[in-house]
A and B are shown apart, each in its own frame.
Chain A
């Protein structure tokens, strides 16, 4: 009597456990597949970023030499901003995401610099949609120019000079220009750094500048040239840092996806074995009840 009454209850319960396990198994399988796919995507993104890093780094070395040569005049003549000169901040980033802390790094550094400016703030220029998003959160009213379509490929001088031209003709007084970009330290490290170019007056009154002979008519051209060169350097080096950060981010993502797949596979196998075991238990209990 005990056995006959026990039997239907046991099988009903075990049937419920079985179906519940099956549903969980199915869910785990779906999750497993989805995470495996994500792992494949992040792995291929990492490969792409790796190839881009090598190329970007080579361009960066050339851009650095070019930029440092151009900026040597400032160091040689000890140029510094004059009192009461306005400062424009250019935040150099890009449109693309999935690259770690690149955008927030430049945005944070810019905000810190804005808090203690050398003169009045004439405005903020953002290069890249992500930079725009970041800076809009804190300094929306200061942003007077934004550029996008940045970050798809290695920046060219033409882009930098077009940006410089737009800034210079935008109607805002351009005196000290501080470009904040991510300086590439190593494959795993970058740091937001400012790069300054100064106004004509600041350059003319620099202590070492009087040693140089030059025609006054080329001075304005020279200043615009120096600004374009700084923008170019910042864009190219920023691009190299971004590719490297993207590679690292994708590598971490792939590793995490791999870890999750391992854990889920364990869970899947255990659940599967539990389902089998409970089926066996039913059968054995049922058989022994007979």
Chain B
């Protein structure tokens, strides 16, 4: 019985912050799934401490029965030895708030710039935009 209560009290404490908004501040959650550069992973309480770079993709937060999915443009997730998970993302919004129409239009525009005769810098910026938008499109369509 004592072991069970210990596990319940530590739990996984999530702090998910974006420069303009604090999404979660030291909230007890069950599990967090992140899209890391090294692969997708699910993080539970007492996960091995690690630092992961996030790629443009979905961060899913499971609190009890409810799950919230955010699309993240990039950032870092740090799992600390004391069972706290810190996620710093540059932009993160709930998936529901994205409009497929706008994604399609922006993606077409970005792809056009990549294939056009723009400067190298503009092309690289457009390629990044394409990567993010494609991931966003996949995430929005996956729900």
Contact of B86 among A59, A72, A213, A232 (CB under 8 A): A72
Identify the closest chain A residue to B19 (Cβ).
Answer: A157
Contact of B51 among A62, A63, A218, A229 (CB under 8 A): A218
Nearest-neighbour CB distance to chain B for A71, whole angstroms, equals 10
Binds A, one of B20-28, B59-67, B94-102, B116-124: B20-28
| Highest count of chain B CB atoms <10 Å: which of A66, A73, A211 | A66
Question: For the complex, is B17 an interface residue (Cβ under 8 Å from A)?
Answer: yes
- Is there an interface contact between A222 and B76, defined as CB atoms closer than 8 Å? yes
Identify the closest chain A residue to B78 (Cβ).
Answer: A73
Q: Tell me the complex Cα distance, A232–B19, Å.
A: 8
- Is there an interface contact between B25 and A213, defined as CB atoms closer than 8 Å? no
Question: For the complex, is A248 an interface residue (Cβ under 8 Å from B)?
Answer: no
- Is there an interface contact between B48 and A213, defined as CB atoms closer than 8 Å? yes
Chain B contacts for A225, CB-based, 8 A: 75-76, 88
Chain B contact surface mostly: strand
Nearest-neighbour CB distance to chain A for B70, whole angstroms, equals 15
- Is there an interface contact between B15 and A157, defined as CB atoms closer than 8 Å? no
Identify the closest chain A residue to B80 (Cβ).
Answer: A76
Identify the closest chain B residue to A213 (Cβ).
Answer: B50
Chain A contacts for B46, CB-based, 8 A: none
Task: Count A-B contacts at CB 8 Å.
Answer: 74
User: Chain A, interface size: which category?
Assistant: 20 to 34
- Is there an interface contact between B38 and A69, defined as CB atoms closer than 8 Å? no
Q: Tell me the complex Cα distance, A69–B17, Å.
A: 7
Q: B53-91, CB under 8 A of A: which get 1 and which 0? A: 100000000000000000000011011111010111010
Nearest-neighbour CB distance to chain B for A207, whole angstroms, equals 12
- Is there an interface contact between A211 and B19, defined as CB atoms closer than 8 Å? no
Nearest-neighbour CB distance to chain B for A227, whole angstroms, equals 12
Q: Tell me the complex Cα distance, A275–B46, Å.
A: 88
Q: A198-233, CB under 8 A of B: which get 1 and which 0? A: 000000000010011111001001100100010010
- Is there an interface contact between B90 and A157, defined as CB atoms closer than 8 Å? yes
Q: A33-71, CB under 8 A of B: which get 1 and which 0? A: 000000000000000000000000001011101100110
Question: For the complex, is B42 an interface residue (Cβ under 8 Å from A)?
Answer: no
Q: Which residues of B line the A interface, CB within 8 A?
A: 15, 17-22, 25, 37-38, 48-53, 75-76, 78-82, 84, 86-88, 90
Question: 3 closest Cβ contacts across the A-B interface?
Answer: A213-B50, A157-B19, A218-B53
Q: Which residues of A line the B interface, CB within 8 A?
A: 59, 61-63, 65-66, 69-70, 72-73, 76, 156-157, 161, 208, 211-215, 218, 221-222, 225, 229, 232
Q: List 13 A-B contacts (CB under 8 A).
A: A62-B21, A66-B18, A66-B19, A66-B22, A69-B17, A70-B17, A212-B50, A213-B49, A213-B51, A215-B53, A218-B38, A222-B51, A225-B75
